Amino acid sequence: KNEVEQSPQNLTAQEGEFITINCSYSVGISALHWLQQHPGGGIVSLFMLSSGKKKHGRLIATINIQEKHSSLHITASHPRDSAVYICAAVSGGSNYKLTFGKGTLLTVNP
Amino acid sequence: DTGVSQDPRHKITKRGQNVTFRCDPISEHNRLYWYRQTLGQGPEFLTYFQNEAQLEKSRLLSDRFSAERPKGSFSTLEIQRTEQGDSAMYLCASSRGGGTYNSPLHFGNGTRLTVT
């Protein structure tokens, strides 16, 4: 069983819909990353958070340390948001080692 | 800031050959990471450098794999006697860190290796 679990694995939405991607982890962490990966491989870090909530444009990330759960929300989704979204937990015993989820493939249709 | 660059983008090689990949991190980043990603999976940690010191290696990194970061700047990852199971995307990332602090990671676009 992977220490970082994401749901759903695949998500299809219509443009404009509100999107939620969930991430649960079983390890103790010091921080959690949300990453975006487009076809071709490049990964972009969207957020790094260790508590509470962060917002950047139409993206919102929340984390509940007690429940070991994080969510990534996309408001007013757009076809250009189509990508794989990956959460990665920074192991509590280090401040650099990431354990990745398998990713959520998001497709936003016009 | 030109970001993290990796070379080559794609490499096709025959089983048994040696391959070497290069990663140039963001210049002020002291930490450098190698990850491997197979189709449909999230990246898996391979190894980590702080400056020129290789501080951690995953058990995934068999004796055929070696990584270096000789001057604390660029890094190379070499795979000797490649096997078909080595086919994957090899991702490099860098960050700035020290003590309990680590900045967000910046990833390169990866090197896709295909072993035939």
What whole-number distance in Å separates Cα of residue A24 and Cα of residue B48?
Answer: 25
DSSP assignment string, A14-79: ETT--EEEEEEE-S-EEEEEEEEE-TTS-EEEEEEESSEEEEETTEEEEEETTTTEEEEEESS--G
CB-closest option in A4, A88, A96 to B97:
A96
Tens-place pLDDT, residues B19-69: 999 999 999 899 999 999 998 888 998 999 999 999 888 888 889 999 999
What whole-number distance in Å separates Cα of residue A56 and Cα of residue A70?
Answer: 16
Subunit contact B42:A90, Cβ cutoff 8 A: no
Tens-place pLDDT, residues A49-106: 989 999 999 999 999 989 999 999 999 999 999 999 999 998 766 667 788 999 999 9
Residue A74, class by beta-carbon neighbours within 10 Å (0-12 exposed, 13-18 middle, 19+ buried)?
A: buried
Question: What tokens appear for A34 in the block?
Answer: 């949300």
CB A77, CB A13: distance < 8 Å: yes
Residue A47, class by beta-carbon neighbours within 10 Å (0-12 exposed, 13-18 middle, 19+ buried)?
A: buried
The residue whose two tokens read 């949300």 is A34
What is the per-residue pLDDT for A90? 85
B5-26 burial by CB neighbour count: b if 16+ within 10 A, else e?
ebeeeebebeeeeebebebbbb
What whole-number distance in Å separates Cα of residue A12 and Cα of residue A104?
Answer: 10
What whole-number distance in Å separates Cα of residue B96 and Cα of residue B102?
Answer: 6
CB-closest option in B99, B101, B110 to A41:
B110
What whole-number distance in Å separates Cα of residue A100 and Cα of residue A89?
Answer: 6
User: Between these two residues, A51 and B98, which has the higher pLDDT value?
Assistant: A51
Residues of A with CB under 8 A from a CB of B: 4, 30-31, 33, 35, 40-45, 48, 86, 88, 90, 95-103
CB A81, CB A16: distance < 8 Å: no
Residue A109, class by beta-carbon neighbours within 10 Å (0-12 exposed, 13-18 middle, 19+ buried)?
A: exposed
Which residues in chain B are contacts of A97 at CB distance < 8 A?
Answer: 45, 48, 56
Please report which confidence band the pLDDT of residue B76 belongs to, taking 50, 70 and 90 as the band edges.
very high
B95 by DSSP, 3-state: which?
Answer: strand
